[in-house]
Amino acid sequence: MLWLIFLVLLVIAAAVLLLRRLRQSAERQRQLVEKYRQSDTYARIYPTLMSCRPWLVEQVRLRPEELTIRMLPPDGRMLRYSFERERGTELSPEVLYSLTQAVAIDLRGMGDKKRYLFETHRAQKKDGTAYRWYSYTIRPARKDAVLRGEAAKGEEHQRKID
């Protein structure tokens, strides 16, 4: 019976330590995101993010070498920001993940799991080294609703012109 009490206490202690580490990790990540949001690189990216109408963002891809934003119609444009060209280097994995979280904060709705799917991808560079990149992709139901709404706005605008 004594060993059972010891085992329960051991499990509780392990759980407390795990929660403590998770909180520390989350706090460290939050600080990194805030630090990155105040960086010169993010200051250059920010106007590009703010030029997007958030409800028309179809996909955001964050790779070590660039940020790509694909918009739905009527915009239908592709925005690119090259980290290699602007900074002369790719983003580190830690900074890239912080950027991913910062984009979710600044592009309203991007962090909403009902609207956008967040995915982590793995790829290989030409030299064979592996890396991760991230994407937010609009969910089909949300995309259909947005396109129907934009179509309705277009028809209403056309009636006003006629």
- For 130-158, b/e burial (b = at least 16 CB within 10 A) is eeebbbbbbeeebeeebeeebeeeeeeee
Helix (H) or strand (E) holding 61: strand 57-62
C-beta of residue 101 within 8 angstroms of C-beta of residue 110: no
- CA dihedral for 62, 63, 67, 69, sign (positive or negative): negative
pLDDT computed for residue 104 by the predictor: 87
pLDDT computed for residue 27 by the predictor: 83
pLDDT computed for residue 123 by the predictor: 94
pLDDT tens, per residue, the chain with 162 residues: 788 888 888 889 888 888 888 888 778 777 877 888 888 888 888 888 888 888 889 999 999 999 999 999 877 889 899 988 877 788 889 889 888 988 888 888 888 889 999 999 999 988 999 999 999 999 998 898 888 886 556 445 444 433
Residue in this structure with the two tokens 């330590």, named with its chain if needed: 17
Tell me the whole-structure pTM to 2 decimals.
Answer: 0.74
pLDDT computed for residue 156 by the predictor: 54
pLDDT computed for residue 139 by the predictor: 93
